Chain A
């Protein structure tokens, strides 16, 4: 009776409000009597905090209150450890989490020390100038490589060193692999930090309603339910007294699920204390210091191969910069450790990492969440092996892919979700062949490249593969309700930051109930509407929440059929749903609108029988036993200006497999956006630090986000290997675009400068850095004996 919504290019339900400027973002919340907060932040990366002089500030007109750590009393305590270390034998982990306001020491530039609350933000910022924090500067731990050196300053005085964690994971026998190998190749790789730079900065508004005995918080968070539960516990309130709303969020990408940011802890407490609503909105400069970062690893990696290029084993030791605190436990380095295995059959693997504290902002997951580091290492090792062995770089990948008969594939190590790293499904070769075909690999190298080079151009091609463990547990839930109007409402606990959930989730339900997608109203990110859940992270919304919504939709459909079969006195099998009605198959005169059915299921008289529920509604949960493994291949042709070493990406091809696709338009958008962030990460965005830990480029003028003239049109294609462990067959797609881009740039640039033997071993790059690397490569060639 209706076309299937699942899989269709359905335009988004949420767009009209966003386009008309009528969507609510956190900074749009305006409440009567609202106060505004501004934070005094550390100017030093590391220092002894001897005290804060708040004296004169309270006298300023318009200032209502000011607080430093001591003023918080018992409420002051380090934040929770979000993810404890996974059950890995012999893992060392030193728990040190961020604090609401610094006490005794400051550990990174931008760490909050005090907060001023005033009648306007302007007045609050004026007042900051009167605050004096007595900080005695200490030498800072800035250089990752030196963080564990004897005599290095210590970020946390009570620890013996800056070691935050030490983890070894092994499968098979690296030593045996090394002994059996024809060649062992060893390299050092550096993959540096970046920021997510969502265009909306963070913000919190809190309102304590004493008469309603209820606290409402609008928060730019990806995990409203977890924030609610945590704040209720911290503030001594019942969870039902705390409502957290994550309204429209202007981009998340991971850092908006760092929990708990100091501001998230402090602002609600102040609102309760003052009995007035309080708003804090981060500015862009603060965002560079006070919102979490990602990345910063140094790898020393070895690959053992046969002369045909078959991988016998990989050995990797790396340092991971976790910043001043590590509330996310081991999530990011474990992602690197696990994702390094990629789509390849690696029989023997030794991976060891040390996470270290530094005097830099906290590192937590940002789109890719450490996966790009693992991908960079394995792809670079394969490129080095291909070059040394004289094997074609596409061919060496073909020879090492896991084959379809090897799934599910247990990698024998533990992933970030605490489950064994098991790939549920995959078929990698078709994606590679599609990408190679589409970019014209052979023809480009054999014909176009020589022709362009003869014309004085520098061009290079890259082809790399990756996998992404997506859709991890523990669970999400959803409630689906048919309302008396005939419209359907869906509520789930995850937050939305632009992924199109108001549409894709509606598509999932629309098919079950035979209604239009536009008639399904989805609510995400409001704990009043749904108070169970974890959050939007790890490319899991469509998989975990999507399957919960599907299950709830199926359950409501059953209720519809049951009730309609009683009313129409026909078997359920003889009924069909569509056009917002249920009817006897082929008999439109029998049709009952769903709204009427919903009203009959919720009567004002008569009895709802024991053991049944009123209404056409169901709440269901989905908890995957393990994640689903998405994968893909990216290929690129790049032209480098020989004089300025600026780049132009001539073509960019993505072949992606995320199982069944709910909405191809939204999926392509996710891929395109991910690639753009990957391009920024690979060639534009780098944080520059001074020796004493000052961030030297904390503005959009100096930290270069890619613009419309930097990002090419992306040609995307799909392979569909349905996920076997969830009913919808979907895999996550949110992060994939960003993951392999660094590795791709490295290979394409190596190719463009093959004549000088360039081998990129670091990300991010820039025209300047590329110039230096090319000059180094040239010098190395000319110094070689003939």
Chain B
């Protein structure tokens, strides 16, 4: 059997220790070792963006990283956005997605959410072109993107209103 390496990763604020094979993808580590199945896997070659998570606050594709590469780092997944799956407890970006009907099957959605959060943090009032550019690294096969664009606009307003 392959050697396992001990790693410590802070995931959604909680320190997690595991011994993992060096080849274990971060996406598989999150989903199958930690049971954080909100992060989805669509292509495993870095194109679809469904597996997007944050590593030290930056959006990255967890299918293009090995778990050992995030040793000592902070990872955030979609599960960090809302404590409960109720309309009123959702993050403003999640609420905007619901209100604008920006998801259908919902499989790509966690990746979109995680790609968008750093984008909105840097661009609190983005133009449509900026939004579409920001979305272009994530594939959605259901919505045609139109309502996702609308959701980002709506989220930008919500986030500006709630900003301290």
B120 to chain A, nearest CB (A): 15
- Mark interface residues in A704-719 (1 if CB within 8 Å of B CB, else 0): 0101110101100000
A419 within 8 A of B: no
The segment out of A90-98, A170-178, A342-350, A492-500 that lies at the interface is: A492-500
Question: Does residue A17 face the partner (Cβ distance < 8 Å to B)?
Answer: yes
B42 touches A201 (CB 8 A): yes
Q: Of A14, A677, A700, A708, which contacts B106 at CB under 8 A?
A: A14
Q: Report whether over half of chain A's contact residues are helix, strand or loop; otherwise say mixed.
A: loop
A670 contacts across to B, CB distance below 8 A: 104
Interface pair A673/B104, CB less than 8 Å apart: yes
Looking at the assembled complex, report how far the CB atom of B14 sits from the nearest CB atom of chain A, in whole angstroms: 16
When chains A and B are docked, how far (Å) is the Cα of A250 from the Cα of B31? 16
Q: What residues of chain B lie closer than 8 Å to A28, measured between beta carbons?
A: 31, 37
B119 within 8 A of A: no
CA distance A465 to B38 in the complex (A): 41
Any A CB within 8 A of the CB of B154: no
**Distance to closest chain B CB from A328 (angstroms):** 21
B109, B146, B148: the one contacting A18 at CB < 8 Å is B109
* Cα distance, A23 to B37, chains bound together (Å): 9
Taking each of A28, A248, A665, A670, which has the highest tally of chain B beta carbons within 10 Å of its own beta carbon?
A28
Bound-state CA distance A701–B46 (Å) is 9
CA gap between A96 and B151 in the complex, in Å? 47
B135 closest partner in A (C-beta): A708
The verdict on B62 contacting chain A, using a C-beta distance below 8 Å, is no
Whether the Cβ atoms of B141 and A198 lie closer than 8 Å is yes
Number of A residues, CB within 8 Å of B: 60
A227 vs B9: C-alpha distance when bound (angstroms)? 42
- A19 with B40, Cβ < 8 A, contacts A251-B141, A708-B132 known: no
Query: A270–B78 Cα gap in the complex (Å)?
Result: 34
Chain A residues positioned under 8 Å from B141 (CB to CB): 196-199, 251, 253, 673, 676-677, 705
Query: Is A284 an interface residue when CB atoms closer than 8 A count as contact?
Result: yes
What residues of chain A lie closer than 8 Å to B40, measured between beta carbons?
A: 25, 27, 199-200, 250
Q: What's the least CB distance linking A196 to chain B, in Å? A: 8
A236 lies within 8 A of chain B by Cβ: no
Across the A-B interface, give the 5 residue pairs with the lowest CB-CB distance, nearest first: A21-B38, A250-B107, A498-B105, A18-B106, A676-B144
Residue on A nearest B108 in the bound complex, by CB = A199
A62, B101: Cβ atoms closer than 8 Å? no
CB contact under 8 A between A122 and B97, given known A15-B106, A20-B85, A20-B90? no
Q: If the complex has contacts A15-B103, A20-B79, A708-B145, are A122 and B21 also in contact, measured as CB distance less than 8 A?
A: yes
B70 contacts chain A at the CB level, 8 A cutoff? no
Interface residues on B, range: 35 or more
Bound together, the chains give a CA A498 to CA B104 distance in angstroms of 4
Q: Is A672 an interface residue (CB 8 A)?
A: yes
Note all chain B residues with C-beta closer than 8 A to A708. Answer: 131-133, 135-136, 138, 145, 148-149
* Of the residues B32, B107, B136, B144, contact of A709 by C-beta under 8 Å: B136
Q: Which residues of A contact B77 (CB under 8 A)?
A: 21
B84 at the interface (CB under 8 A from A): yes
Max chain A Cβ within 10 angstroms of own Cβ: one of B38, B137, B141? B141
Question: Contacts of B82 on A, CB cut-off 8 Å?
Answer: 16, 19-20
A19→B109 contact, CB < 8 A: yes
| Interface presence of B163 (CB below 8 A) | no
Whether, in the assembled complex, B143 has its beta carbon less than 8 Å from a beta carbon of chain A, the answer is: yes
Tell me the smallest distance from the CB of A166 to a CB of chain B, in Å: 35
**Known contacts A16-B90, A251-B142; A200 and B107 CB within 8 A of each other:** yes
Q: How far is the CB of A218 from chain B (nearest CB, A)?
A: 13
Could you name 13 residue pairs across A and B whose Cβ atoms are closer than 8 Å? A14-B106, A15-B106, A16-B86, A19-B94, A21-B78, A27-B31, A250-B107, A284-B42, A284-B48, A672-B143, A674-B144, A708-B132, A714-B146
Minimum CB–CB distance for A649 against chain B, Å? 12
* Beta-carbon nearest neighbor of A121 in chain B: B28
Chain A residues in 8 Å Cβ range of B43: 284, 699-700
**Interface presence of B26 (CB below 8 A):** no
- Cα distance A611–B87 when bound, in Å? 43
Please determine whether A669 and B37 come into contact, CB atoms closer than 8 angstroms: no
Q: Is A410 an interface residue (CB 8 A)?
A: no
**Is B1 a contact partner of A61 (Cβ separation < 8 A)?**
yes
Contact call A19/B44, Cβ cutoff below 8 A: no
- Asked if A48 lies at the interface with its beta carbon under 8 angstroms from chain B, I say no
For residue A11, CB closer than 8 A to chain B, the reply is: yes
Max count, chain B CB within 10 A of own CB: residue among A17, A498, A669, A708: A708
